[in-house]
Amino acid sequence: MSKRHPVAVLGGTGYVAGEFLRLLAGHPGLELVAASSESRAGAPIAATFPNLAGAFPAATFCDEAALEQAVGDGRVRALFCAAPHGAAAGRIDTLLRVAAAAGAELSVVDASADFRFRDPAAYARVYGHPHACPERLAEFAAAVPEHVAGLPAKHIGHPGCFVTSVLLGIVPLLRAGLAEPEFFVSAVTGSTGAGRKLGEGTHHPVRHSNMFAYQPLTHRHRPEIEQLAAEAAAPCQVHFVPHSGPWARGIHATVHGRLAGPATAAALREALAAAYAGSPFVEVIDTPPRIKDVAGSNRARLSVAAEGEAFVVMSAIDNLVKGAAGGAMQWLNRLLDLPEDAGLRLPGPAWI
């Protein structure tokens, strides 16, 4: 690619931010110009992410004032946001105001949950506080990129990792009228899904050689799944039980449902395969998917089984890539009129 678009990462020290930086290091059409961190401003990026020392040997984190200056000067064309839920919206609003005042174009893809709900009241019910800038919600769309053609909005709020893993399995079956609109989901995620900050559920002695459910049937991703499934296909009810698994990265989701009419496993598999026939990242396979086959990559693998009126879809993705930074990069590629798979064809390392 002859042109490289200048990109910044807002909130640059968490696990998702590290994946944004890693993917940017190998992207042929994007170039990192700034990564902000209030707590580590001035510190080398490689001190936080030693795995990136070869890609960014001299780069340092900046503070948000410096990022605002770069946006106002027109030195940033696009922004990845990896700031925490609740904090992201206000910071994004500030940067968009700075860009507008300077007459600069700025495309945003937010990996937090702040722009996943269209209704500010729905956001407040789920997250327990008012949305920081409800007037911005109309400028954002939230969707798995494989489920929406073109550009649904000026900016994107990327769905969460659990949400992505489940929607990949259920949206094609709802669209094809093959599934009843009620699903029972058990999904297991690695410890990186809880973020960098240490907590009881992420402490190594607790996670090692262990698996446990948390927030059964009440997790905040349930309303996200239901909203985005309704927008992409049809209204449905989802009974969601997330689990913590004893690995660092990857999600395995098992989705149980009932057939809307007589259908075979082959028919379900054909519907899934047809839905993702044009996708470079989603593969429908004949055997149950495994996390190690997708970890570290932007790929997703799905399989299906059926017996009588019951069926099950199994989905495996990397929570940090397809479920966060990689899916977000798909959207930014599209916003900037780049090939959607640019910078994302990297294979997974398998043995991690």
Helix (H) / strand (E) element for 78: namely: strand 78-81
Residue whose token pair is 């948000």: 64
Q: What is the mean pLDDT of residues 151-173?
A: 97
Query: What are the tokens at 208?
Result: 């090692």
State how far the Cα of 221 lies from the Cα of 217, in Å rounded to an integer. Answer: 10
195 vs 129 pLDDT, higher one? 129
Set 62, 133, 161, 236: catalytic member: 161
Question: Is 334 a domain residue?
Answer: no
Shared-domain flag, residues 201 and 114: no
Q: Which domain holds residue 132?
A: 5-141
Give the strand order in the sheet containing 300-307: 212-213, 237-244, 179-189, 251-259, 310-317, 300-307, 282-284
Give me the DSSP letters along 181-238: EEEEEEEEE-GGGG-SS--TTT-HHHHTT--EE-STTT-THHHHHHHHHHHHT---EE
**pLDDT in the model for residue 198:** 75
Do 109 and 228 reside in the same domain of the chain?
no
Residue 350 within a domain: no
The percentage of residues in the chain with a pLDDT greater than 70, rounded to a whole number, is: 99
Cα 256 from chain centroid? 22
Q: Which of 194-203, 215-224, 291-300 has the lowest mean pLDDT?
A: 194-203
What is the arithmetic mean of pLDDT over 234-260?
Answer: 97
206 and 268 assigned to the same domain = yes
- pLDDT-based confidence at residue 2 (cuts at 50, 70, 90): low
Handedness of CA 346, 67, 157, 291 (dihedral sign): positive
Residues 134 and 166 in one domain: no
Q: Assign 1 a pLDDT band (cuts: 50, 70, 90).
A: low
Question: pLDDT tens digits, residue range 224-237?
Answer: 999 999 999 999 99
CATH number at residue 62: 3.40.50.720
Angle between helices 161-175 and 221-232 (to 10 degrees): 30
Query: Is the domain of 61 the same as that of 99?
Result: yes
Residue 128 pLDDT > 70? yes
Torsions phi, psi for 13 (to 5 deg): -115, -5
CATH of the domain at 217: 3.30.360.10
199 in any annotated domain: yes
Asked whether the predicted pLDDT for residue 194 surpasses 90, the reply is no
| Sign of the dihedral defined by the CA atoms of residues 148, 14, 317, 312, in that order | negative
Q: Based on the structure, what is the number of domains in the chain?
A: 2
* Mean pLDDT of all residues belonging to the chain: 95
Q: Is 81 in the active site?
A: no
